[in-house]
Structure formats: C-alpha cells, structure tokens
Structure 1
Amino acid sequence: MSTSISALTPYLPSDNALGKSSLPDQAVELNKLSAGLMGQISPITLATLSQYMSVINSFYSNLIEGNATRPHEIRAAQREEYSDDPIKRDLQKESLAHISVQQWLREKSPDVDTIYSTAFIKELHMRFYQQIPESLWLIKNEKGDVVDKVVPGEWRTCKVDVGRHIAPDHEDVNDLMEGFCDIYHSKKYQGDRKLIAVMAAHHRFTWIHPFIDGNGRVGRLLTDAVLKAVGLDSYGAWFLSRGLAKSSVNYKALLATADAPRQGDLDGRGVLTEKGLLGFCDYMLATAIDQVSYISHLLDLSLLRKRIDAYIQARNDFRVPNMTESLKTNAALVLHTAFIQGELERAQAVELCAMPERSARRLLSQLKKDGLLSETSSKSPLRWEIPEHAEAFYFPQLTPEL
C-alpha cells in the first residue's frame, strides 16, 4: 500500500494547539535573540566565527551519530595529520566532509526556493558522501554483515526500520519528498509559524527517511541552511547541533515520540500525533534559544576582554600548551578591538599597541605568527582569529575538551 503525503499530517500543530502552547512566544524570542547577537558582532567577526564554528558543528552533529572525533583531531586532519588507526582516520575524513559541506552552504547562501527542492537535498547528501571513505558507505546489519551500500545523492531503494518506526516504502520516497518540499516551503508561513514550520519539517524529514544512510546529518545540515535562509542571520555563530548532542537521548526520544500515530480524539486531526509534534517543536525551539543565549553570553564584550586577558596571563605564565613565548599585555587591547571590529587597519593596530613604532610592529608580527591575527597581504587590514592554542581561553566549555 502506497504512502501519500497526508501520512505526515498534521504538517504543523493546529492554530488551536499552538494558541495553548509556548511555541509562538519561543519563535518570537528566538528571532529577538538572533537579532541581538547580530548587533553584538561585526559581519567580519561573524564570518570568522562561522568558519571556526564549522568544526564545532561537525563535532557535535557527528557525535549524535556515534562519531566521537574530537575537535583537536578534526583540526589535525585539516592539517593532513591523520590517525594511524584506519577506523579513526576514516572518521576524521567524515568530519572534514561535514565541514566542507558547511563551507559550500556558506558560499552558496541558498534561498528557500533553492533549499526546498529535491535536487538541493540530494546534492547535500551527494556532497557529503562523495568526500568520505567508501568504507563508510557500507550498510551493515546487527551481525556486522554488509547488506547494502549508499549511493551518494540517491533516494533509498529498500524498506528500512528506524527503531520502532517503519519508514515509508522506498517507491514512495520521491513523491513524499516532493510533497515535503512543497508543504514546508518557508514562503508559505508568516511570523512565528515560519520557525515552527522549520522545526516540524526537521521531524518529518527523519520520518520519511529518504536516504539509506546519512539522514541525521543531512537533516541537520538542511535545518542549518533553512534557519539561515529564513532570517536568523546570526546562525553560523551558533548551531543547533551542540544543544541536540548535549541532550541527544532526549532528542532521539522526542523524534521517536513524534513518529507515533494519533492518540485519540484529543490528539489533533492528522494521521500522526499532534501532541508528539508539539513536544518535539518545543524542544527544538528551546534548544535553539539556549544555544544563541549561550553564544551571546560567551561573546559579551566585557567578558571576552577578561578571557583575552586571562589568555595573555597564561602565556606569560607558560601555561598555554605548545606556546613558549610570552606576550606583551598591550596585546589585549589590540585583540579585543580586532574582535569588536573584525579587523584593524595597520595604523590603528600600531596605535593601539601604545608603544614605540618598532616595538609595536614587533608585537603585531608576533600576533600574526601566533595566529591571533591574520592578513591577506603585507598591506591588508589585520583580522581577528581564533587559533587552536587560544580556544580554551576564548571559548571555555564550548566543547568537552575546551
């Protein structure tokens, strides 16, 4: 028996159910917090943060799927320093593939018309899988026997069970995904419903389970792209995956709960449970609010200045691993101002050093050598950066190892 798109109903919780919930207020709060964060940082700083956070997002999104490759191991792989263990090496490459797709999304900056198309969703999957070792394309059963193989960018061609959920027949996937793209296209929703629809779509994508493997990571990358496209401009400085990974048991349980069929007359008018969808959307919005609030606090100007000072003090106490040179305390104002503005003109940087020009240029050269500032040419502005040795001081508790 074929599965029609109506099997996904309710597509969104009803107006009556939403009116009794906190979801509309949460959507408004998320928009407000995202806009506030954009007011905290310059576009150049946002670009630097987004590039840095792509490693953090890769770590957490892959962690949800069982790949525990740590950020320092991912950064080592970016330098082409791989583990001798072939399994760990493959997982490092999987993390790099996730980062590469994020970079592609940043450069492409797709609009909602592009995102809500089956071609785009297939391309997300293709770009991810084409960059990971073929050993990770193999689908194994509980005994470890190979039973199938991923075809990058193609819908699955067999039936699958996801926990207790029996996914729709593979022959219906294309029609379901076409319907999914039409129903959840963000231009159909206004105000608070726009973000609620994004969160509901995240579940419905996993319910369809369009690919034989990779649905979790592709689904989160898809949600990343949509949240940016619908106006959360600060998205990239923060990501949902960190919050989802930190509460992954709850995340997976709520996904499963929303898979359930309607539970009687008090549970909406769709095929699936409205109560379960409400609970899942509530969790997703609350997680997003928590993450943007966390990053906003982390980037508070006065608090960041204190952490920059603490980093310099640690340098001078020789407590920063692999850094053997002390650092003039004058560097703190230079680095803090570079964070605020995103980059500094060289004359301004020299002035901020508050020392003779020759000494100032020597300090700036050290900051560039240490990766705390960067340049594109000998005359370009100096851009604020986040080198690996400063991570734990700049962004404590961002990941378990920082």
Structure 2
Amino acid sequence: MQAPDRIAAAPVSRQRRWRGSSKAACRETGGSGVVPGHEDIAAAGERLPRSHGHAALLYSGQADFLTSVLEFVREGVRNGEPVLALLPEQSAGALRCELGGLGQDVLLANMGEIGGNPARILPAAQTFAAGRQVRCVWEPAWPGRSDAEVCEIARHEAVSNLALAGGSVTALCPYDAAGLPSPVLEYARDTHPDVIEHGQRAVSSSYLGPARIPAPCRQPLPAPPAAAPQLQYDLDLRPVRDFVSGYASGAGLSEARRADLVLAAGELAANTLRHTAGGGTLQLWQDEHEVLCQVTDDGCIADPLAGFRRLPPDSLGGHGLWLVNQVCDLVEMRSGSRVDGTVDGTMVRLHMRLPATGPAQSASAASASHSPAG
C-alpha cells in the first residue's frame, strides 16, 4: 500500500446590524463568505444519495473507542485505503498504542492543531486523499470546547455530507458520550446519516439531511459590546486594513498574528466590495482571551461548502473564505434569507487568541458565543 502522505499542520496562529435589501447580491461560489444554514439552500443537497460514508461513533470509554476505530482502520487497510486519524492527544495516544503493524498505513495528526478551527478538517482530508480512496477518523469535539466552537463543529459535520457524497473519503467521527455535554451528542446525531453506539451501527433517526445545520447553531450571533469600535467601508480597503492593524496592535496580538487578522478582514471586506452595492460594517473588540473582528454586509452565500474546501489554484474565485479559515483560530458564519424571503445579509466573526491563552486545545472565550443548547 502507498504510504500515507504527510499533512502540514494548519497555522495556529443578539442584535444584528443588517443593512440588507431584497436586491442584495447572492454570491454563488466566489470570494469570502459564509455557509448558509437555511432550508431553501440546504434543500439542494436532498438530490444527493444518502451518504453512508460519514458515521458518528458515540463511544463510552476507551475500550469502546478502540474497538470501533480499530475495526474501521483494519477494514480500510484490507481494502488498500490509507487512513488519516485526526484526534485529540488522549485519543491519539490510546490508538497509537494499539495499532501495531497497522501503524505504517495510518497517519496520526493532532486535531487540536489542525481542527482547532473546525473548517480546516475537510481541507485536511481533501489534501490527504489527493484523488485516492482513503479513510479518515476525525474527533472534532472534546471537553473544554467553547459554545462557538461546538456550533462550528456542527456546521462542519453538516456540510461534510455534501463534500463526502460519492467521493473518495469515508469518515468515522468519534464523540465521547460520557464526557461531552448532551447538546454536542444531539448535534452529532443530527448531522450524521449513521450512528454507532454500543457496537451497533444504525441509521440516525434525527439526521437532518445534507448541509442542514441544527437550529440552535443557526441563531443570530450575540451582539458585540455596545462600545466596540466600528468602521463603515464602501470604497476601498485601505481604511479597513489600517483600522484592523491599529486595533490588533493595541490589543496585544503579535506582529505575525496581526498580519493574519489584517489579511482575513481584508479578504472579507474585498468580497463585500466585489459582490454588494451597499458596503459593509466592521467591528472590533476583545476580552481577556482573544480579539474578535466582525464583518457584515447585505450579500449572501449560496454555496454551503464555501470555505470548507480548497479549490484548485486556477479556479476563478472561491479562495477567500478558505484562506480566512486558515489564518484565524475560529470563524463563525451566518448568511442567507429569513423565512419571509427578505435578505438578512452576511455576518462573519473572526476569533484570534491572545498570546497568554495557550495552545489550540484550550477553551476559547465563550462570552461572545451562544449556548449549544439554544
């Protein structure tokens, strides 16, 4: 069997201010944007065959975890399929001790580094596959994940059903049934066609369908602090870059992380100028853990996978949000239309941890996040 390829770790680097209009542009695939969690857009996925290549493993204890994961790995090796295991440190250590001779066919990678931002998980699997039939084990949730991270995990799992349908990647997604809050487990059932519990695989009765995101994770983001500085932009990007750079410097971000935030905010603002007529609003604030940057405009994104897959270099557009996800610690996204058909617009919230908050697996600040229980 061909040896697994190496994957470089990704860099770790309630009131809404909508000015939407029914004439807002709807960005199909290009530029920076957000994944819509609305029924009219997600319904497009219903035309796809039900994917059985994306299952949640709700395990109870290490023995249960190892039994199901090793069975999945062994089946892949028998089929000539290299295996990528993206796991938190504890799970990775347990699996490493049991792989034995299978280790040469399995690439273990640190989920805390690659999947600290859940939107990086699918691109990592895509890179690993490189056109081959492969298997991936990804465990995206662990105790200490913030509420915001939990909802972006649910979004990642939902859109994975589109990305994996008929493709070359078969995924098993372990969730610690004993250690995780019940809403996290409910989201796993909502976003996986099949669920494995107590050694038994069954169709998930609560599966919502491809790209359908659990309702609590589609709620508006909490409002920024009332005193958060803001900038209205509608002509060029220089004021955006200067505004973000100045704030990030004062907040204590390193030079490299400040450059990352300026790059990400610039990508989002450029998308506003390219695809809307009304300009946008940028707000910045911080807490003891991180700097947050929010960009809103009156556009929408129609591609549920925007930002969740790496497009070929020669593709026209579609790279912006992927790049934003590569340089930010977390990206929260809301976009689309309300039930009455009027346009809400697009909101993207960028999170950048401050130096003192530690490694990628530390809990992010939850003060600007909503509860996973809704």
TM-score (norm 2): 0.25
More strand per residue: 2
More helix per residue: 1
Name the larger-Rg structure.
Answer: 1
TM-score (norm 1): 0.24
Which structure has the higher relative contact order (CA within 8 Å, separation 6+)?
2
